[in-house]
Amino acid sequence: MELTESSDLPSHLLAPEAYYQPRPWRPLWFLILGRFVLILLILTPAYVILNRIALYFPWMLPVFTQPVWMIVGGVLALYSLQVLYRWRRASRRWSHVEARARECLKSGALAEAGRELDEFCRTARQWRLYHAQAILLRAEVYLRENRSDRAFGLLASVQNSHFFESGARRRRKAELQNLIAFCFVVQNDLDAAEQWLGLAHVSIHPKDAALLLPLQMAIAVRRGRHAVVLRDAEAEWPQAEAVLDSHMLGALALLCAMASHRLNEPSDAGWEASVARWLQVARSSATPLDWLATGWPDLREFMRVHGLTAGSSAD
């Protein structure tokens, strides 16, 4: 089956929790306009009725003898200010939650990051954009916790909502497709992973293309294409440092170390130094990289030998 950015994932794979299911995307102006129309439909007949009642209560005349457009316009203006205030407050709250969650990810506090995001997902569903972004980040936390099944359920919910298909959100769309592809990688479905990688390449802005390097490396190393991807990673390393956090940079370095290990012979004078250089960067990750080795015995053994699995030490 040929995939497109609008392809739905099987519904039985979606996360069952309602707070992990984004509402379908709607433009903000569409939501506000719809509510404006609703207010007009309610206020106009109400005003006509009160205008008649005011004839019997002189103290009400100054209000209900004004032109209807002034009354309705005043109410709509107040409503607009209230919407803008609530949107601004939600934006500030999401900025705080996202910053806190990413700081927890950076320090390795995955459980705390998950709690922060879960609380936001439960209480902010009405703010569709921020809610969808929170689910996307929560899925990344699940993936790093080596819970790819849970991560995939959240990612499927976001994908099937078609929330990030707007061209203005191409970075988020590429992140979503990148994470879906990683879930397929750890499930040993490399064909599906390559299809989602292809979609991510179409979505990503060229300046952010290094975001996809770890995924490219994971697929290519498992396919045995070591030389090409290792050369690409070395060439694009400065860009990778600019767009990847320490964990994904460590994942990229680990994959480069394995590619270098497989590509070079121990008799090569620079072989050991090359592998050691990549491993040093891989150890900079504050959280374990074990999720990368799920269903990949060769990588797990490579990590074990070099002390990179959780709770292991180098031989």
Q: pLDDT, tens digit, for every residue of 111-157?
A: 999 999 999 999 998 888 899 999 999 999 999 999 999 999 999 99
Instruction: Tally the domains of the chain.
Output: 1
Burial 276-294 (b: 16+ CB within 10 A, else e): eebbebbeebebbbbbbbe
Residue 47 lies in a domain: no
Interatomic CA distance for residues 174 and 169, integer angstroms? 9
For the stretch 144-198, pLDDT in tens is 999 999 999 999 999 998 888 766 688 899 999 999 999 999 999 999 999 999 9
| HEC-encoded secondary structure of 223-241 | HCCHHHHHHHHHHCHHHHH
DSSP code of residue 267: T
Give me the pLDDT at residue 69, please.
58
Residue 292 lies in a domain: yes
Residue 5 lies in a domain: no
Answer yes or no: is pLDDT of 90 > 60.
Answer: yes
Residue 232 lies in a domain: yes
Give me the pLDDT at residue 55, please.
61
Interatomic CA distance for residues 31 and 78, integer angstroms? 16
Residue 273 lies in a domain: yes
Interatomic CA distance for residues 228 and 216, integer angstroms? 11
Look up tokens 């504050």; give the residue: 286
Two structure tokens written together for 40: 């007009």
Residue 310 lies in a domain: yes
DSSP code of residue 15: -
Q: Specify whether the CB–CB gap between 174 and 208 falls below 8 A.
A: yes
Interatomic CA distance for residues 270 and 281, integer angstroms? 17
Mean pLDDT score, 100-121: 94
For residue 223, the enclosing domain spans 205-315
DSSP string covering 91-136: HHHHHHHHHHHHHHHHHT-HHHHHHHHHHHHHH-TTSHHHHHHHHH
How far does CA 32 lie from the centroid of its chain?
26
Residue 259 lies in a domain: yes
Q: Specify whether the CB–CB gap between 5 and 161 falls below 8 A.
A: no
Residue 197 lies in a domain: no
Give me the pLDDT at residue 273, please.
82
For the stretch 269-284, pLDDT in tens is 666 788 888 999 999 8
* pTM given for the model: 0.81
